[in-house]
Amino acid sequence: MTVLGEWLRRIWYLLHRRRFDDQLKQEMAAHRAMMREPARFGNTLRLREDAQDVWGWRWLDDIVRDVRFAARTLKRSPGFSVVVIGSLALSTGATTAIFSILHGVLLRPLPFDDPDRLVYVYGRNWREDRGGVPDPVTGRVASPELLQFRDNSTSLLGFSAYDVTTRHVAGPAGPERVTAVVTDLEFFTLLGATPMIGRTFDSADPQEVAVVSARLWQQQFASDPSLTGRTITLDGRPFTVIGVMPEPFQFPYAAASILPGALPEMRTDIWLPLPPLRDAASLGQRRGRYNVIARLKPEVDLEAASSELRVIARRVEEQYKGTRVRIGVRLEKVADVVVRPIRRSLWMLFAAVGLVLGAACANVANLLLARTTVRLREVVTRAALGAGRSRLVRQFLAESLLLSLAGGIAGAGIAAWGTKVLVAAGAAWIPRAHEIALHWQTFAFLLALCLVTAVLFGLAPALMATRVDLMSVTAKSAGDSPMAGPFARMRDGLVMLEVALAFVLALGAAIVMREIVRLQNVESGMATGHVVSLHLSPRAPASDYYAIEERVRHMPGVQSAGFTQLIPLQNWGWFADFAIAGRASEGRPTAGLRYVTPGYFETLGIPVVKGRGFTTSDTAESPPVILINDALARQYFPNEDPVGRALDRGMIVGVVRDVRQVHLGMPSEPEIYYPAAQNVTMASDLGMSLLVRTHGAPEALVAPVRTAVREINPNLAVFNVRTMDQIVSDSLWELRLYRWLVGLFAILALVLATIGLYGVIAYNVAARTREFAVRLALGSEPAGLARLVIARALGMTGVGIAGGVLAAMALMLFFSQNQAVARTGVAIYTAIVVLFLAITAIACAIPAIRVAAVNPAAALRSE
Amino acid sequence: MPRDDGLPPGTLVMLILRVLVSEPLHGYAIAQRIKELSNEELSVEEGSLYPALQKLLLKGWVRASPAISETGRQVREYRVTPAGRKQLDAERANYQRVSRAIGAILESA
């Protein structure tokens, strides 16, 4: 209590300071006047200050004074201040933007109850008798073992199975496709997620209930807060809406990314109950495979829970003696799974932007050192007048703090803007992107960044300045010696550091750019120009697809049209095993599966290299036929004609050229094509994609195609219209994002390094003008002197490049498993070295010209 | 800078509180009073007096109110607060205890 009272009085004093100090002054004057020998009173000012110090605000006065002084000094050199604040704003802003992404995606806990105890359960369904090697346990869990886990596990609190699918919501503008998660009733309880309106599933709920997202709620019911009696029609069936989840709730993350032809944003809009799991009686079927999440009991670790589930799984295996099913089980934290695709990339970007920040700090330190050099006389004067060393250091730090805070304030704006742009650019691909926001932690990070950078670039010049020998400076003239000795070495060192950092970033950017160029030039196997794709769902009879193809093909401006269930280059494939008739099976080979209509190959420009393509006479009634791709033919029929051979999946009637199916960077895998008419039941519930090749701009045909589709089957929703070129370019989104970011970082670092180089060289030339004048007067060639300057600049760049190469090589060892990095050869290094030599030339052009133009008489007279 | 005024360290606050208990006084008068009461033995230097008064204000042991000195100048008159009285009692008791103990040691030698 007394401490609090004391502080209140301190603050009271601070608020009424002027009056207090006035009173003190007057009473001391009165005291002095009353003394018999007023002269003995001592130094009035000093005594008053001692008395005021008791209130404990001296530090504040000092700071205010330092900051005022710093602000005045900086205002006197606006050019310097703008360059420094600008480079700090850019670098801290960029760093903070990347940090806010990193923080929102990787560092913040998932928005569920005790998210660290949530785990994914992975399974496997490999059969020993089919041969081959067991796949890693990354698959879904079949219902028999799931039921056993649920009944027998003691280390997990609960299991929840779910499946991602789509539903079509009836609306005034026709059906709208939404991503739906079908899950058991424990799902929300297990996650610990609460609805914003209504409730989530209850064990007594019937099948026809739905929990919807806030977006769907707004769209369907105009955000009406009363839920009673609200129903929503999904694929013709009414569902009672029981609850609305708040907008940030999305689980599973990236749900839509595993659905072909899905909406570009990854979001789930509706959650529906899963029918009760099949009971143990249907063990033999092993149907019904689910994504499974579970919650660890407190005090149970991942390892203990995994081994318990493995024991249970082994008991289930024993019931399959005949088929020798090998069930695997593996647990992984949900938090790790969600961010796995992006974690490494984000840390890499953070490291890259850290390099930029480092370069900016080095640059600012460099500029400050240059200023310190110029201000040495001021420093010396103040030291001579009694400013202590710590006082001087504090003054310098106040200046750098002021600079970095000003940079930080501008940086906060850049960070807010950059975060928004990045989230918009990556929303469809970065998991948890919708959760990213500017949190207080982001600003705390920015503030910490400012303080650290201020100390980093401010302390060195401050300490340097105070170490200068007073006499040596005062004795000499202003333009002379200061650049020699520690200052010069330090500035050179900083410039070399900048060059090295810029080199590493430039190399990174070059690798990314070359990789994009390489992938863009990869033979995709398709002719993608003038092709547009439209996704149609839900599933329709095969005859509808054939009818639509026929109708669209005859529309004016259309060259050809065709369907597939999965457009190539979606970072996703659909693989299954096959067997060759009449050949002893050495394991089960696998191949990609595509279900297509006859026009598919012509539309995507995939030539049939052997045999024939599909025709409309390949119907459900005719014998099953398939096409294989060249890769399958090469691998399994190396010396024979595959046409006419039979697989267990049909008779091979032709061979088509290879297509990059999954990603431009991945070679073509063996692939089997089915005619949709014979196998459409195998195709997914998710509908098919229509591809249309046109003579002119493909976008113009979207509207007539929509009409044609509606006329043939009004239940079909047409959405996700994209040109094939767009799809190819989207498949490289990650590299594109890196190209922009790393490229931007590299340019920033290059500009900083150029400024640094120029600054040091120009200063050096200015400081040595007299020496050059003397040399000229003694008969040196101007060109020779210019060469001196250039040689010095090249020396610095050289050391910087050498450091950059070493650092880059060390980093490459770390990333050596990355293909693009592994391909980096001498050519790229050479190109970047040449770039840096060019920059050096630019940086020293003006100083060199100035040297060559020195007028010895004028220069010497000026001293 | 406080000069040597013959005061045992830490006793100035106690002495100021003691003279203020009798009547409110301004700075110069406090110094005079201490000098008088100690038979000119102790003199409080202004360099110690004013910081000590600030400390008393800060601690809440005295309150200051504007007043006019005998010479017609603006001064502050200090008066002891209840907290100051308590502090004085505590310090006085403590001082007496310590000085008795020191006395006992010195006598015994």
Instruction: Give Cα separations from A456 to A363, A390, A488, A722, A849 (angstroms).
Output: 11, 17, 18, 50, 34
DSSP one-letter code for A213: E
pLDDT in tens, A803-826: 999 998 888 887 777 777 777 778
- State the Rg of chain B over Cα: 15
Question: Within an 8 Å CB–CB cutoff, is residue A14 touching chain B?
Answer: no
Answer whether B65 touches A (CB < 8 Å): no
- Which of B28, B53, B57 is the best residue to mutate to test the A interface, defined by the most A CB atoms within 10 Å of its own CB? B28
The residue written with tokens 């499946």 in the block is A163
Give CA–CA dist A199/A100, Å, rounded. Answer: 32
Q: Could you tell me the two tokens for A636?
A: 């399994």
- Over 80: is that where the pLDDT of A588 sits? no
Q: Are A439 and A100 in contact (CB under 8 A)?
A: yes
The phi-psi region of residue A313 (left if phi > 0; otherwise alpha if psi is between -120 and 50; otherwise beta) is alpha
Give the pTM. 0.78
Under the banding of pLDDT at 50, 70 and 90, the label for residue A323 is low
Give the SS3 label for residue A558: strand
Confirm if B60 and B81 have CB atoms less than 8 A apart.
Answer: yes
Q: How many helices (H) and strands (E) does chain A have?
A: 27, 24
Question: Min CA distance, B96 vs chain A (Å)?
Answer: 25
Q: CA A797 to CA A791: how far, in whole Å?
A: 10
According to CATH, the topology of domain B12-108 is: Arc Repressor Mutant, subunit A (1.10.10)
Mutate to test the interface with A, among B45, B61, B74, B81 (most CBs of A within 10 A): B74
Longest C-alpha distance within chain B, in Å? 54
Q: How far does A382 lie from chain B, in Å, by closest CA?
A: 24
User: What pLDDT is stored for residue B1 in this prediction?
Assistant: 40
> A30-44, A177-191, A276-290, A841-855: which range is least confident on average?
A276-290
Ranges of chain B with pLDDT below 70:
1-6, 109
Yes or no: say if A30 and B71 are a contact pair by the CB < 8 Å rule: yes
Burial grade of A29 (CB within 10 A; 0-12, 13-18, 19 or more): middle
Task: Nearest by CB to A34, from B28, B50, B64: name it.
Answer: B28
Paired residues of A245 in beta bridges:
A213
Q: Running DSSP on this structure, what letter comes out for residue A105? A: I
Q: Which pLDDT score is estimated for A340?
A: 80
Q: Which of A729, A723, A688 is nearest to A531 (CA)?
A: A723
- Region for residue A687 given its phi and psi (left: phi exceeds 0; alpha: psi -120 to 50; beta: otherwise): left
ipTM confidence: 0.86
Q: What is the pLDDT of residues A347-362, one digit of tens each?
A: 889 999 999 999 998 8
What share of chain A in percent tops pLDDT 70? 90
What percent of chain A lies above the pLDDT cut of 90? Answer: 24
**pLDDT (tens digit per residue) in A54-90:** 888 888 888 888 889 889 988 888 888 888 899 899 9
Residue A764 · residue A366 · CB < 8 Å: no
Q: In A95-155, which ranges are E strands? A: 118-123, 126-127, 141-142
Cβ atoms of A112 and A438 closer than 8 Å: no
Q: How far B29 CA lies from chain A's nearest CA (Å)?
A: 9
A28 and B27 within 8 Å at the Cβ level: the answer is yes
The structure tokens listed for A442 are: 């982001």
Q: Is the dihedral of CA A563, A568, A571, A575 positive or negative?
A: positive
- For A383, the token pair is 């030291």
Q: What is the pLDDT of residue A130?
A: 58
CB contact under 8 A, B26 and A13: no
What is the distance of C-alpha A796 from the center of its chain? 34
State the pLDDT confidence band at A478, using cuts at 50, 70 and 90: very low
> pLDDT class for A537, splitting at 50, 70, 90?
confident
Question: Where is pLDDT greater, at A475 or A491?
Answer: A491
Residue A439: Cβ-neighbour burial (10 angstroms; 0-12, 13-18, 19+): middle
Question: How many angstroms separate the Cα of B72 from the Cα of each of A31, A323, B28, B31, B66?
Answer: 12, 114, 13, 18, 12
Average the pLDDT over A408-419 and give the result. Answer: 93
So what's the pLDDT on residue A559? 93
Domain ranges of chain A: 2-56, 58-113+340-475, 125-327, 480-523+731-863, 539-714
Contact with chain B for residue A5, Cβ under 8 A: yes
